[in-house]
Amino acid sequence: MKTQFFRIGSAFREEELETAAELIRQGGLVAFPTETVYGLGADAENAHAARKIYAAKGRPSDNPLIVHICDVSQVFEIADNVPEDAERLWTAFWPGPLTIVLKKNGRIPIETTGGLDTVAIRLPENPVAKALIRRSGKMIAAPSANLSGKPSPTSAAHVIEDMDGRVDGIIISEDCRVGLESTIVDLSEERPIVLRPGDIGMSALRRVLPDAVLDTQLKGGHPKAPGMKYRHYAPRAELYVTVGERAVQQEKVFDAMHRLLEAGKKGAILCVNESVSIYRRKRKDLLVLGLGDKGDSREIARNLFGALRRLDEEGIDLCVSESFSEGESGDAVMNRLLKAAGGKTI
């Protein structure tokens, strides 16, 4: 398949947007930027188009898609029994990086919702995303625009790497402001359950919904978001995450590198900016990537997926990462990092 490219940033030609919107209307696939990560979009009401998303990503078809809307009133077109908590959430956080799971009516096909009787809905803040949804006249179903198992794409270059030749169109735009997938809150049950942490953290959510609880703290920690059960974000490199005080972690990083690096293998370290020079001074043969200043969890979140992709590009065999649990996005960063590491900590 020949992929069309569209350059749509703060300045763009209307015809480009219209051509991309027309591809969506015709049941095609268009990758587009959002503030979280780039999405792989299709008409949410078109079952055939939804199936093409799974094929393009190589994604299991029981892993549901998020329906992106451009106006709050669209929630009532696709969801049943919308609770007051939903309105509280969207008043506080939309447009923005928050997805709300609600009971669905019959309008969105099961292909889009992975066979579930609930639907995940988000009103994004990114102006290009909103313009595409509005111009197409469709609600747009989209997962992240990466090949299944690869880190979510946070730049147009990542999308092109994974999706060129597999989709009808790719919108080339700015890097994603947040860089991690949306916070998902399930309101289809008695109590609000956070299925996936994100840029909107637990403390911000609890200001709006005081009884919101993290999924992993329920039912012995079995995640309910179908996507959470798959191996995700995994680089080819063996990845370990150190835990403990920062100074202790730095010792552990060196210790692990010495023990694990066999002759001829390539090693990398992911760390806070404050640690970079410490590692570089001790060893010249390692790739050392600073993800952001220690307190700046938003910057670290923005850089994480790009750094994981970089490990593969550089042919890294072994990577040891510091922890990044400080700050409002700390939970979300550690959730993705530990998944990438398959839970391996030092």
Cα–Cα distance between 325 and 145 in angstroms, integer?
26
* Sheet with 238-241, side-by-side order of all strands: 238-241, 318-321, 267-271, 287-290
Q: Is the Cβ–Cβ distance between 6 and 169 less than 8 Å?
A: yes
Residue 116 or 276: the one with the smaller Cβ distance to Mg ion is 116
Q: Of residues 28, 33, 41, 64, which one binds ligand AMP by CB under 6 A?
A: 64
Residue 169 engages ligand AMP in binding (rule: CB under 6 A):
no
**Cα–Cα distance measured from residue 140 to residue 122, given in angstroms and rounded to the nearest whole number:** 10
Q: Which of 47, 82, 92, 116 binds ligand AMP (CB under 6 A)?
A: 116
Q: Confirm or reject binding of residue 36 to Mg ion (CB under 5 A).
A: no
Q: Check if the beta carbon of residue 203 is closer than 8 Å to that of residue 84.
A: no
Q: Of Mg ion, ligand AMP, none, which one sits near residue 212, judging by CB under 5 to 8 A according to partner kind?
A: none
Kindly tell me which of 115 and 137 has the beta carbon lying closer to ligand AMP: 115
Q: Minimum distance from CB of 240 to ligand AMP (Å)? A: 24
Angle of the 127-136 helix axis to the 14-25 helix axis, nearest 10: 60
Residue 144 binds Mg ion, judged by CB under 5 A: yes
| Binding footprint of Mg ion, residue count (CB under 5 A) | 2
Q: Residue 66 Cβ, how far from ligand AMP at the closest point, in Å? A: 5
Which of 238, 259, 263 is CA-nearest to residue 317? 238
The CA-atom distances, in angstroms, between 166 and each of 85, 141, 145 are 39, 17, 11
Phi, psi of 42, rounded to the nearest 5 degrees: -155, 160
* Partner from ligand AMP, Mg ion, none contacting 120, C-beta within 5 to 8 A by type: ligand AMP
* Binding status of residue 216 toward ligand AMP by CB under 6 A: no
Q: Which residue is nearest to ligand AMP (CB)?
A: 227
Residues that bind ligand AMP (CB under 6 A): 63-66, 101, 113, 116, 118-120, 143-144, 181, 184, 195, 225-227
Residues that bind Mg ion (CB under 5 A): 143-144
